[in-house]
Each structure stands twice: as C-alpha cells, then as structure tokens.
Structure 1
Amino acid sequence: MRWNSLVRRSLPVWLAVFTMGCSSEADTPDDPQPKTFEQEMEAWVSTTVSGMTLEDKVSQLFVTYIYGQAADVAHPKNVEAFKEDTPAKVVKRYRPGGIIYFNNDTRDNIDNPRQIAAFSNGLQRAALETGMHIPLFIATDQEMGIVTRVGPPATQFPGNMAVCAGRNADDAKQAAAITGQELRALGINVDFAPDADVNSNPLNPVIGVRSFSSDPALASEFVAAQVHGYQDSGDRTKTVSSTAKHFPGHGDAATDSHTGLPVIQRTKEEWQQIDAPPFRAAAEAGIDMIMTAHIQLPKIDPSGEPSTLSRTVLTDMLRNEVGYKGLVITDSLEMDGVRIMHPDADLPVLALQAGADQLLMAHDLGLAVQSVMNAIADGRLTEARINESLLRILRTKFKRGILLKPFVNEDEAERSLGTPDHLATASRITDRTVTVLRNEGNVLPLQAAPAKVLVTGVGAVPTAALSDAFNAHGSAATTQAIKAAPSDADIAAVVAAANQSDLVVVLTNAMTATANANQKKLVDQLVATQKPVVAVATRNPYDATYAQAPAWLATYSPSAGSMQSVAKVLFGEVPPVGKLPVPLPAANDPATIVYPLGHGLTW
C-alpha cells in the first residue's frame, strides 16, 4: 500500500487531530483562547470514550502477540490461537489496544525494514477500520544488547550494563534516542525498555547485563537518561513510549520468571533503598509505561501473590509510594511466574484488581476478554475501574502522537535505519564500554600484530568478528567457536590449536561454578599451554572470577560491534575507559570482592 493511499484511509483520524491541533487559528470571537495540548487531549479522550461500548473499552486493555509478517496473509497458528487466519482479521475481531512483535521461531514477525513498516501499516489500517478509530500500540523489546528484536540494518548498541560501564549518561540517552527514532520509522511506537532492575544478585539467571548496575544511584541516572532519549528527542510522532521494567525489581531473583516464580526476600526498607530508586527516577522523568514483575515478596506482601497480581505492590507501592500516575502494563501473562498459582481466566481480572492498566500476551485472548466482561457483570470489577485504565491508555496514545501519525512511510523505512551518523555514534559509545579487569605482566596493549592468533570461545558471531579484526591488523587468525558447555573433545581440539599460536583470545559467556563449568576448564587448560592468553567475558563480567587468565576484559555484550571495540583496545587504538557497573565477588566466596564497583584499568 502506497503512502498516499494510507493517508486517505486514515482521514477521519487525521482530520480530527488536525482540527484540534489548529484550534488556535480556528478560534472564533466566541472562543478566543487557544486550547492547550492537555485540553485537546482531554476533548478527544472524552469524545472517544463516550462512543465506546463496554466491550470496546475492555478490548483496549489487551496487548497481544500475533503470528505472521503481513497483515493480510494467513498464518495457521492464528486460526489455532484466535480463530482467525490473518493478523488483520485478528485485530478486527478482538480490537486490542496493542500488538507486540517478536523475532523468534514461534512468532516471527520481523524480517526487514520495509516488511515491518508495511506490517505495522496493515495492522493500523485494520484497527482504524473497526469503527473505533483508535490506533494500536505496536510494541517490541528492543532493550539493546542481548534482548534485541530488530537486528541490522537497525543500529545495534550494546546493552545497559555495557553502556553504564562507559559512565556517560549522555551515551545512554543518545542510544535510546536513535533506537526510538528507528523503531518509530518502522511503525513501532512502544519500546519495552529500559530495564530498570538493580542487579544485586550475581547469579540472577534472567537479568544480569540487562541491568545498568548493582548501584541504585547509577541505575537511576541511566534509566532517567534513556527515558528522555526514547520519549523527548524531538517530534513526539518520531519517538516511542518508554517502559521501565520489571516493577518492583527483578534484580535479586535467583529464578527465571519465564519458567518459575522467583521469591525475593527483600524487606520494605531494603526495597526502598535498592530497587525503588530507578523506578522513581523513571516516574520523575515522565515515563509513559511501567511493566510489572512476576515475583513474590513475602516480607512485603504476605499474600503470596506474584507482584503482577498484588494490590500491595501495584497500588500501594507503585501508585501511592512511588507516585507514578502513568500506564502500568503487566509482563507477559503467558509466563509461568504468573500462571503458577491461578488459571488463565483469573489472571486478567486479578491484575486489574491489583492496579494494572494493560494486560500483555494473555494466553487465550478470547477467554481473557470474556473473563473481564464476566467480572464486570458479577461485580468483581466495575466499568468505572475499566475507565480508569482506558483513560491512561488513550492519553498515552494521544501524547505519543500515535493518533496524529498512525502510519509510516514504507519507502523511507530502510533509509531511516543504520545511517552513517547513527552507526558512528554506536561505534563511539561501544568503544567506551570495554573494561580491562586484569593485565598481568602488561601483556596489553599489543605492541605488534601477533603472527598467529587463535580466537576461540562461545559464539560464532563474536569469534568470527574478532578474528576478522585481527586479520585486518595483519595477523593470521584461526577461529574455533565452541558451545556454552564445551565437551572434553572440544577443549582438546582448542588446546591443540593454541599450541600452534602466538596469542590466544578466549571468549566466555555466562560461566559459573555449576553452569557451563567446562568454560573454566577450557580457560585453565589454555593458560597451562604457557601461551599469552587474553580472556574476554562477553556477557556477565562475573566470569572473570572463575578462571585466572593473565588478562581479562569485559564487554557485557557478544555483538560484532563489541568485538570490534575489543580489537581497538587490544591494539591500543583507543584507551580502555570502561568501569565495572557491578562488583565481582569471588567465585566461591560471595562476601569477598575480587574486583570492586568502578574497577577498570587503562593505558
């Protein structure tokens, strides 16, 4: 569908907003005062709500997944999940408030920029054709780093902990601004980012480098910077709604809430000091959305309910203590952390009773909508309660310019992504993230390109990228990527190659004493060869306390861009300036800190 055709189809929405936006010029002598932005918003919201049925209102409370990559192309899994074959028909049947995009094998919505833009336009067209004339939230999880849904040619940045290592909050703001602008060019108007969790547990299986820091003040500074980057970087129709997650704080979890229900033994005072500050900072920065966590806090809420379903957490703590007035969205209602205690039919009702406004990824959308309708009919919920959430949803859509500009220019989509300026900014930011933890014997920086280099470790992408960088400097680099849990045969093959090399660089990823323990064995055996060994923790910096390589670096990211920055640091082209955003405790003694918060060597 061409751009002008899309505009014609959305004329009722465009004309309504244009009329409001031009009110200062159209004022008559009887109405000489120009309307403020807030007055225009409230006028539209009031008019819209008055024309909605109860089921229309309830439908806006849901943000759903969908199958396929084109609005009008059938996908068999849509029939199974929604009893409709195309994404457009799903939107017209259920009239949800939003859609979430994924890039995984199950729900693969993302291919290339033009496809994403066309898909977004098709879904918005379907939403506007329902008669409500309310555009969709179109969301994704583009946290950057290890949680990235839209890959190249979109500009790729390292994740939160990496950016925080650079200790420049403006880097966080710039990365968010570019990411938000590029997402909006694809028709995506909500980013479920940044992660505002304070990673206080080094063994956290699901947050880790998604967090900025274990220090509440550092995390707060960088969260606020990213909120402003996502939401306040120019024209609101070219920005995205930012979403701080996962309230009240997932950073001390020892269980992944995708597969279980984490129990966090925080006291109220500990929560106020450790976990609450980044969410307060997000609220003060004017964030559009806050996402809930599926965790238990037994010392704060003895009910045992997951926070997503807890009135103590969502109303008493988030609304009343933090003072947040914006939109609260649940984490996915498909996750085991929230389904473990209640049937699917109860989850949306309990979440709304707790204080949530929007419900993400109900397992059975039809059942979920009907459950809310039933709860209103029998008095567990009221229409007034539904209206509270609906008003927050509509105001957010108006403020973010989604009503004004629901469609994007498909011809411009690809040209808006990965521009030279954006890529140069990403490179500068990534160069500042590399942290040198150890440099025994001043092995680094390299004084000359080694003749033969072995690049090994976890991941085909990072090992290949680093090998390419060595080759570009004149070395002959051999690449031997391994699995996260290498076998003894894998280790023997790598060690044999190391014996024929002048330098060994080994990349680790999420190595602990119990998980992926053979990565430690690999590093130990490489060190035993007496060859110069440089180890690089490409995800969790905690890896550096599990094996004693003479040189240790941390990148917090396994991306190709991070490996290019590693090469610059190794060859002395840029000085390492990264500082640890978390302390690194000894592998077998959490009370002993090997590398403190803020540690980082340079040259």
Structure 2
Amino acid sequence: MGLALSVAGCTSDAEPVAEPPQGMSEQELNLWVSATMRRMSLEDKVSQLFVTYIYGQSADAVDPKNQEAFKEDTPAKVVEHYRPGGIIYFNNDVRDNIDNPKQIAAFSNGLQRAALRTGVRIPLFIATDQEQGLVTRIGPPATAFPGNMAVCASRNADDAKTAARITGNELRAMGVNVDFAPDADVNSNPANPVIGVRSFSSDPALTAQFVTAQVEGYQRSWNVLQTVSATAKHFPGHGDTSEDSHSTLPKIERTKEEWSRIEAVPFRAAAQAGIDAIMTAHIRVPKIDPSGEPSTLSRAIVTGLLRDDLGYKGLIITDSLEMEGVRKMHPDSEIPVLALEAGVDQLLMPKDLPGAIRSVLAAVQSGRLTEARIEQSVKRVLEAKFRRGIVIRPLVDEDDVLETVGAPDHLADAARITDRTVTVLRNEGNLLPFRAPPANVLVAGASTVAVPALAASLQSRGSRATSKPTGTTPSDAVIADAVSAANQSDAVIVLTSGMSTNAAQQKLVQSLVATNKPVVAVAVRNPYDAAYVDRAPAWLATYSSSTGSMESTAKVLLGEVAPVGKLPVSIPASNDPNTERYPLGHGLTW
C-alpha cells in the first residue's frame, strides 16, 4: 500500500506525534500494540527494552566475538535468543558491521527475518550514529554532509532539513530505521572535547531552529518508509563540559534556571517537533540533582526535567551503557535497573546483555520494578515501531538500494549545501580570492584526509599543488620540511585541527607565516583555532575535514563561489576567554 506520514497533536498541543501510516488508524495501532503485548512474556517485554551491538557483517556469519559476548555464533542467533528491541551498527576496529550499501541492506534484512522468526515476531529498531561530519558511520557511496556546525554556518535551516531528509532516506533504504541524530547540545564551552562541531551552535535559539529542521527532515515525508526515527542527544545537554563522558563523569554547574534558558531550548523544540526519541547523557548536574548521579540514572532529570518540565511523551533511550561516565558509581548489573527507575525506556549497549536482562528480571521478581513499569516502556517502543512503518514493512529491497544511496541528485544537493558552509574569518589585504590559481601552492597541516583532498581540488584547477600532511603534533623536523616546501611555493594553505590546545600545530602555522609567503590558515574542525595565530593573513573555518568541504574550500579560495558562512559560535581571544576575538555571526564575503 502507499504509505504517507502526517503529523497531528495526538498527545498535547505542544508535542505533535506521528500518526499511524496512511491506511492504518490509531485504533489499529492500539489493537496491534495490545495484541502484541498480550502474547509477550515478561522476558519478551524486558528484552524489548535493550538495544545491543553485534559482531560481523552478515546475519548468518559466524564471529567468535558473538560467542564470547552472547554465547551465540551469529548475529541472527543473538537476535533469536535474546529478542532485543534493537541493534546498533558500528564501523570501527572492534565492531565492524559496515562494508557497503547492499551488504548493509542484506544484513538488516537478515536480522529482521531472525526477529520475525521468534515467538513475539516484533521487528527490530536498527540504529546507527549517522550525525554526518565528525560522527559518520556509513561512508561513500552514501551521501556525505559536513556536519551540524558547518550546516548551521550557512544560516539556512532548509539546508539542515534537506541534509536530514537525504540521510534518513538513504539509511532507510539500507534497512536502518533509527538515526541517533541530531545532536541537540548547545556548545557553550569552547574547551568541550566531545561535542564541538557536532553541535549546531553556542546559541540556544539557533540550535533549536536547526534541530527542529532536522527532526522534520528525518521524520516527515510523503512516504513513512523513507523516514527514520530521529534521536535528539544528549539530554540534559552535554555542551558545557570540558570532559568526555566516554572516559569520565563530567559535571555541569548549571542551575535549573540557567538550564531552562540554555540547554533546555533545543530539547524543548525537538519535543514540540514530535521527535521519536531523546537520548540521555552521562553527566552530573549537581545543582539540579544533588545526588551526583549521572543524568541517565537520575529520576530528577529524566522524569523531572524531560517528562514533567518539558512534557515529553516519546521514547527515552540511554547513551551507551559501556561508557565510563555511567559506570563510575555503580556495577554494570545495577545500571539498567537504576535507569528504568529514573524513567528511561530503552537501554543502549549494556556491557553484558545477558546479565543486564537478568538484572531487570530479578528487579521485577523482587518487586523493585513492577511489570506495569516495564509495560509502560514497552508500549512506547512498540508504538514507535508501528508509527515509523517498521511493523508494516520491516524488510527493504536489496536490489534497489543503490538507486537511493548516493543518488546523483543527493550528491548535487550535498555539494550545494557544503558550498554555503565555508566561513571567512580574516582576509588581510584582500588576499582572497586568489585572482588566478597559484602556480605552485603548498597544502600542509593536520589532516591526512583534508590535506591531499584540498591539494587535489587545487590541482584540478590548474595549480601545481604539493601535499604535505604533518599530523596533529608535527615534530621540529616535519615543521622544517614544511617551511622548506613553503619557500619554494607561491602560496601556502595550512590546515589546523584542534590547534587551540596544540603547541606543535601553533608552531607550524607561525613558522609558515614567518616565510612571508601568502598564508591561508583553515580550521577544519573547531573554529576556535583561529584565535591562536593572528598573524596569518587569512583564516577560514570549514568545521569539517571531508573531501566535500575541501572541494568547497577550493571554490572559495579561487572565487568560484562567494563565501556566505557565518560563525555559529563566538571565538574567544586566546589570552582572555572573556573577550571575543570573532563574535557569533561573524563572516566575511566578497
């Protein structure tokens, strides 16, 4: 049947929720949820509250890591045995689930068939972190965008919506129906080591505008089967930390009034836009919850702030329960129970899935948790699966996936969007745009991806471009080699990444500037780098080291496109964090 998504205020005026797909009524949704829950055992219900990792790239491929973690050989057997509510895909050295679009589609179908073979016959959430930019799990040929802060630099919320629509469309074609995006954190702390360019902005209202646009892009389409569940993260807001919750338990010194004015704004907007899910953060907010518990385990935050204050009715999922931020105060067996007591619905990546399931079952059997409390969350899980069309059509067409993923119109949209992200912060003596491609240009700097990519883009435009990746901490010998190459060049472009806290990169830029060659510095990650070497005649910010961002940078350098990017954050002076070197909204053009 043809399925379409409409939006209506089903829970409250402040929070629209997706209606059932066209052809299916609210009554049919309720009947399916009720009938499904009646045939579920307590074990089935508890299992739906977990989203787990698996090992391998095929549902039926044997991987010894699955046996070690789950006492089952294949991903399909893990699904059949534990009947989880969802699976998450990764592409790292530890868990490499991703090869290419057709493989992902086949893998997703294999996992869904395994879920449908179980007695409960409930299809899976299949999730990944496709924020774009810095956090991108599925690379080319999938369409790449430069990430949140970059897109926000355009000040074009329609670009954010288009990027989310294309990303969601391509994910769904591969059988991925949940994206753990967008990041709704307000990056108010320039020293933030884990959010940075993953955030849209340091301005709460601007962040909220772009979060809303992405929720609409991910979740609203004429065809629900081309959409994914969006997930705003990391509640109550990870933007004002100077520590990484992957390795420790950060603390945010916000009062509730401050939180309401800053961190709450994008999450409130996401709830009002009808977002399917919100993810918790493993951070402490002692002025809101004096217990010191991480937010994920805090009833004062999960229920008090998110449910009661913001009125959010949708699905609440934890950030990974493998992260040290949530494991600092409690054993792994206790964490799932505490999260459910706090008001969470789904538990992402427990360190020990079998043990976590046993812990929750034991808490129900002891009376610590009631079965009614479990059913409350199970109902939200089932409703979200039904509304997103996963129940109606859990499988995807493996033969058609490449017609969607990396489609020419998607790539063209991505290039146009990326062209609008480049921000010119400084242009002393009108150095830019170059009136002609420099005959000999050195491209040096931190990124092993961006340096050769920008050199190739300039080479294709007629320059003889020398590529010298120097690494993020160049030695004196590496710096001397770059300086020697600069002396033989007509112009120098140096890329920085995290230079604000890196003396070696600062020395590299200063040494290149000292050659008296025309030097253009480009911050390809956090724009805060631009405050640290003011003597560079020109400074650009791309917020991204992707090949697409480097192509757009070449266009700006040579005047093919006029820069329109404006800073989504303010950049403090390097010697005084209370003084602005470049204010929010700053951006030059020609």
Which of the five TM-score ranges fits, normalised by the shorter chain? over 0.9
Q: Aligned residue for 1:581? A: 568
Where in structure 2 are the equivalents of 1:160-559 lying within 5 Å? Answer: 160-512=148-500, 515-548=501-534, 549-559=536-546
> Which residue identity is paired with 2:308?
N
Distance 1:36 1:408 in 2: 20
Check the 8 A contact 2:448/2:471 in 1, yes or no.
no
Q: Aligned residue for 1:9? A: none
The number of residue pairs the alignment matches comes to 570
Identity of aligned residues (%): 70
Distance 1:35 1:570 in 2: 52
How far does the alpha carbon of each residue in 1:85-104 deviate from its partner, in whole angstroms, 9 at most, with x for none? Answer: 10000001100000000000
Check the 8 A contact 2:131/2:147 in 1, yes or no.
yes
Q: Aligned residue for 2:11? A: none
CA distance 1:500–1:36, shift in 2 (3 Å): closer
How far does the alpha carbon of each residue in 1:408-444 deviate from its partner, in whole angstroms, 9 at most, with x for none? Answer: 1111112211111000000000000000000001000
Distance 1:35 1:50 in 2: 24
Distance 1:361 1:418 in 2: 30
CA distance 1:56–1:534, shift in 2 (3 Å): same
Shift of 1:233: 2.1
Q: Aligned residue for 2:7? A: none
Distance 1:47 1:471 in 2: 63
What is the SS of the residue equivalent to 2:561?
coil
> Which residue identity is paired with 2:344?
A
Shift of 1:35: 8.8
How far does the alpha carbon of each residue in 1:207-226 deviate from its partner, in whole angstroms, 9 at most, with x for none? Answer: 00000000000000000000
Distance 2:539 2:458 in 1: 18
What is the SS of the residue equivalent to 1:411?
coil
Q: TM-score, normalised by structure 2?
A: 0.96
Q: Give the gaps of 5 or more residues in structure 1.
A: 1-13, 18-33
Distance 2:310 2:467 in 1: 50
Shift of 1:460: 1.9
Shift of 1:379: 1.1
Q: Aligned residue for 2:110? A: 122
Shift of 1:504: 0.3
Distance 2:126 2:508 in 1: 44
Aligned partner of 1:47 among 24, 35, 39: 35
Check the 8 A contact 1:164/1:212 in 2, yes or no.
yes
What is the SS of the residue equivalent to 2:263?
helix
Check the 8 A contact 1:237/1:404 in 2, yes or no.
no
What is the SS of the residue equivalent to 1:179?
helix
> Which residue identity is paired with 1:256?
D
Is 1:595 matched up with 2:560? no
> Which residue identity is paired with 1:556?
Y
Distance 2:477 2:521 in 1: 20
Shift of 1:36: 6.3
Shift of 1:234: 2.3
Distance 2:393 2:234 in 1: 29
Shift of 1:368: 0.1
> Which residue identity is paired with 1:336?
E
Shift of 1:37: 2.0
Distance 2:440 2:358 in 1: 66
How far does the alpha carbon of each residue in 1:24-70 deviate from its partner, in whole angstroms, 9 at most, with x for none? Answer: xxxxxxxxxx9962111101000000110000000000000000000
What is the SS of the residue equivalent to 2:166?
helix
> Which residue identity is paired with 2:567?
L
> Which residue identity is paired with 2:396?
V
Q: TM-score, normalised by structure 1?
A: 0.94
Shift of 1:517: 1.8
Check the 8 A contact 1:185/1:416 in 2, yes or no.
yes
Distance 1:38 1:328 in 2: 22
How far does the alpha carbon of each residue in 1:522-561 deviate from its partner, in whole angstroms, 9 at most, with x for none? Answer: 0000000000000000000000001121100000000000
Distance 2:402 2:193 in 1: 35
> Which residue identity is paired with 2:515?
T
How far does the alpha carbon of each residue in 1:223-276 deviate from its partner, in whole angstroms, 9 at most, with x for none? Answer: 000000000022111110000000000000111000000011011111000000
Check the 8 A contact 1:509/1:543 in 2, yes or no.
yes
Q: Aligned residue for 2:18? A: none
CA distance 1:576–1:516, shift in 2 (3 Å): same
Distance 1:599 1:200 in 2: 17
How far does the alpha carbon of each residue in 1:279-337 deviate from its partner, in whole angstroms, 9 at most, with x for none? Answer: 00000000000000000001111011000000000001000001100000000000000
Distance 2:388 2:254 in 1: 35
Distance 1:384 1:72 in 2: 36
Shift of 1:472: 1.3
What is the SS of the residue equivalent to 1:246?
strand
Q: Aligned residue for 1:4? A: none
> Which residue identity is paired with 1:197?
D
